[in-house]
Structure 1
Amino acid sequence: MRLTIVAATGGIGRHLLRQAIEAGHDVTAVARSPQKIADPVRTAYADLAAPDVDELAAAVKDSDAILSGLGARTNAEAGVAWRGTEALAEAARAAGVRRLIVVSAAPIGTVPSPANPHPPRHDPGDGFVMRHLGAPFARRMFRTHYDDLARMEDVVRASDRDWTISRPPKLTDGPLTGRYRTALDRNVRGGFSISRADVAHHMLACVTMPETIGHTVGVAQ
């Protein structure tokens, strides 16, 4: 398949890129610093903090799917996820690319956003510990980052693309195992962490899983 990997030098993006290449896909890697990409793939420059839709449309043209690992690394970068994804969705529409898969975070279903100002208090997949300790703590610690991701999810849902939102919990730098659990439209019960490599593995799997279109997917070990 012909895939476009966005934020290809980021924590999850690097794994998406490498795994897509190893699986034999035809890959275009989009990044703010494409010169850092040593893999033998097409590369395209894009600054998702100040995105150019025409630039992005040219990068994603003829793709079967777009996979985005975009997310703010610091509070100072907050806003890059929703602004960059908004431009990416517009570019996908302009280029006629239907499939869009993005990564978010497990607590986002309970984070208010402009399109969802009164979300449920708890995610239906969370157990007692996560509901009363883990999720509230994470929302306090990463409030700015989560506000950005919640607004990004608004953008994705409002698009007319065939979207899937991946919602992992705490990310680690552990190895690719291919052993993880998933849950549709809810978090994974008792799922506290997952490696970035395994998140990338599942996002790539979603490309050929039409049952995930129009859904969030909890993924955890």
Structure 2
Amino acid sequence: MKIIVFGATGATGTEVMKQAKERGLDVTAFVRDPAKLPDHSTFIQGDATDRQAVQAALQGQDAVISCLGASGLGKTTQLSIMTGHILSGMQLHGAKSIHYVASAGIDHEITGLQGKLAQFILRNVLKDHREAVSLIKDSGFRYTIARPMQLINGPFTGDYRTHPASIPEGGRKISRADVAHFLLESLHHDAYTNASIGLAY
């Protein structure tokens, strides 16, 4: 299986690349600045807002892991636009699946004051994620949506919880390393196919 990672130099994408290499997977990073990658990384240079560049990068790839993020908290359609480019490239070149990092809150699944604050502060980012996820679900490709709670910089533990409809009860945080582990597991776990999974400790 050939895997291409978008957002590969971000905090979560870096963990995906690291763990994929440790597993001996055939992984390629799609990046604007290859200098941010570790030595000996396989990469394609380009910008995820460039439709033609994204489409070309999908040639020969089987699966997509998207760790793309929006810049800032203002109104944006960045994520949905970039996701649309990825899906068009998948259609053009026959890729099979997309594994997308969204955020807890896209389904209004966080309850109480914490949920209200998330919907207010992150309203623009969550809206863009929802639109990107809608595109993915309507595409016909196999997909996994990761909905992590607050992302933290911590070690890989493998000791996280998942929930297929909401978020794990009482869960508040999860490390980017554990989100990366989940994404790689989702490549071959039927339980995560065509599912939106909440993640937390």
| TM superposition score category, shorter chain reference | over 0.9
Paired residue type of 1:79: T
Give the TM-score taking structure 1 as reference length.
0.86
* Corresponding position: 1:191 with 2:171: yes
Aligned to 1:217, what secondary structure does the other structure show?
A: strand
Deviates more, 1:165-174 or 1:149-158: 149-158
Q: 1 CA distance for matches of 2:76 and 2:180? A: 22
Alpha-carbon contact 2:55-2:85 (below 8 Å) kept: no
Q: CA deviation at 1:39?
A: 3.5
Residue matched to 1:113 = none
Q: 1 CA distance for matches of 2:197 and 2:61? A: 23
Q: 1 CA distance for matches of 2:38 and 2:154? A: 22
What do you get for the CA RMSD once the two structures are aligned?
1.5
Residue matched to 1:94 = 92
Residue matched to 2:9 = 9
Deviations 1:7-36 (A, max 9, x none): 100121111111101110011101122232
Residue matched to 1:65 = 63
* Corresponding position: 1:176 with 2:156: yes
Aligned to 1:102, what secondary structure does the other structure show?
A: strand
Residue matched to 2:135 = 155
Q: 2 CA distance for matches of 1:97 and 1:57? A: 11
Q: 1 CA distance for matches of 2:163 and 2:46? A: 32
Deviations 1:32-63 (A, max 9, x none): 22232123232112322x222x3223322222
Q: 2 CA distance for matches of 1:73 and 1:191? A: 26
Aligned to 1:108, what secondary structure does the other structure show?
A: coil
Q: 1 CA distance for matches of 2:185 and 2:152? A: 20
Paired residue type of 1:14: T
Matches within 5 A, 1:1-221: 1-48=1-48, 50-52=49-51, 54-75=52-73, 78-110=76-108, 123=109, 130-221=110-201
Residue matched to 1:116 = none
Identity %: 30
Give the TM-score taking structure 2 as reference length.
0.94
Aligned to 2:128, what secondary structure does the other structure show?
A: helix
Q: 2 CA distance for matches of 1:83 and 1:71? A: 12
Q: 1 CA distance for matches of 2:75 and 2:124? A: 10
Paired residue type of 1:93: Q
Unaligned runs of 5+ in 2: none
Q: CA deviation at 1:190?
A: 1.1
Paired residue type of 2:65: L
Deviates more, 1:73-82 or 1:146-155: 73-82
Alpha-carbon contact 1:71-1:149 (below 8 Å) kept: no
Unaligned runs of 5+ in 1: 111-122, 124-129
Alpha-carbon contact 2:6-2:65 (below 8 Å) kept: yes
Q: CA deviation at 1:85?
A: 0.6
Alpha-carbon contact 1:15-1:200 (below 8 Å) kept: yes
Aligned residues: 201
Deviations 1:134-167 (A, max 9, x none): 1111111111111111111111111111011000
